[in-house]
Structure 1
């Protein structure tokens, strides 16, 4: 069988504040609200939007994240409305060297970068989150690992970007974008995987390790039950012991 993508996890100094920002921006709902974890998911229980989890950390953000979200827009007017809404909710504009591009780069209340995209045909049916974007030195190589991990096929690949999407053709994309910078330190955002209920998590760990994952000290990602691993470019992720109810993919 295959593991599946369960959620994007944010380490946050103020989990409730950051979760509330994302819930309001996306039009989603807070589904779990505890001191050690806040979850945000699309209101439709059968939807395919990616779920978000916010875990507490004492460490302040430093440097650009290697993982970020791209938000979809239906028109240029809709893009402007989304940007204005994000700014009212507590986002700010940031310059990460993007230059003159048609998308808008913002940061959430704790500085996590995200993009509000101009209308693009490939994202017309994704829902609020167009893509989960991962910086990588080798897009094709890392995409092959995550295709194995998520069960999503590779749909397009060139020298700069490799993309995956669920075989259903619905929901957010998972895209790997070339960057010259190597990963340094612990990622502030990471992906969590879940095994299917009928599968043995130990077998899935072995399968992921055969694909290129390596074990990581469990303290590297706190607050979630599961096995902590890293992908071939040392991006941490967690294989959850049980399938969380919050997943939409």
Structure 2
């Protein structure tokens, strides 16, 4: 039984505009699935192929936001100080704005997309040299070790590090971004506008995978989704995520 992260799901009032922003920001293609869904993905991306990494899927919602700092965000990779400066300038020209999340004097730059979803443009770091444009999907949490226990069983990615301050995974194929749970004093108060979507492996049964997640500590989540082919859940700290059907 296997599950792997495949989509970073971002909610937006204008999915088309935010989807175009992320496609241009990452140097990816943009496609619209209609009915309020716009995806940004690299050329040749196949979400059912484990070697394809993850892409960004922007879903339309009626509520403007976020009203508080998201507990999930993207870190973007750079290769040099000049690249970092150039990328920040280009993103601001695309509609990104500076964001203050209490980061203080740090070597990375915190920005927000056109609807206020925060992300970071990192200074060059050797660990992210081969991730592509997204260095990491970062999740704030209270207890990284507890998250390591849950997510280590939930997904088939390789655990690279775990401590009191962080838990870090990457795909078993060593492609795409890292998944990082970082200790944060912030308390979750509202549903997040960014979350992960997982997909079962080839030959795995989605219902069985969902049942397995519940035994690990996941709980069902009703966000008014109705009768849909995916299942909405939360992890033991309340982070929302969805398990998609392969068909």
The one of 236, 240, 246 equivalent to 1:242 is 246
Are 1:95 and 2:100 counterparts?
yes
Q: 1:224 to 1:175 in 2, by over 3 A?
A: farther
- Give the count of matched residue pairs: 242
Instruction: Say if 1:105 and 1:115, in contact at 8 Å, map to a contact too.
Output: yes
Please list the CA deviations of residues 19-73 of structure 1 after superposition, one character each: whole Å capped at 9, or x if unmatched: 0000001000013341321111111437634211111111111010000000000
Q: Where does 1:1-249 land on structure 2 (aligned, <5 Å)? A: 1-45=1-45, 48-61=52-65, 62-219=67-224, 225-242=229-246
Instruction: Say if 1:140 and 1:157, in contact at 8 Å, map to a contact too.
Output: yes
Instruction: Say if 1:133 and 1:176, in contact at 8 Å, map to a contact too.
Output: yes
Give the TM-score normalised by structure 2. 0.93
Moved over 6 A (4+): none
Following the alignment from structure 1 to structure 2, what is the Cα–Cα distance between the partners of residues 218 and 179?
25
Following the alignment from structure 1 to structure 2, what is the Cα–Cα distance between the partners of residues 34 and 146?
32
Deviation at 1:224, TM superposition (A): 5.9
Instruction: Say if 1:164 and 1:174, in contact at 8 Å, map to a contact too.
Output: yes
Following the alignment from structure 1 to structure 2, what is the Cα–Cα distance between the partners of residues 223 and 15?
22
Query: Match of 2:52, SS?
Result: coil
Deviation at 1:223, TM superposition (A): 9.5
Instruction: Say if 2:41 and 2:55, in contact at 8 Å, map to a contact too.
Output: yes
Following the alignment from structure 2 to structure 1, what is the Cα–Cα distance between the partners of residues 40 and 111?
20
Give the TM-score normalised by structure 1. 0.92
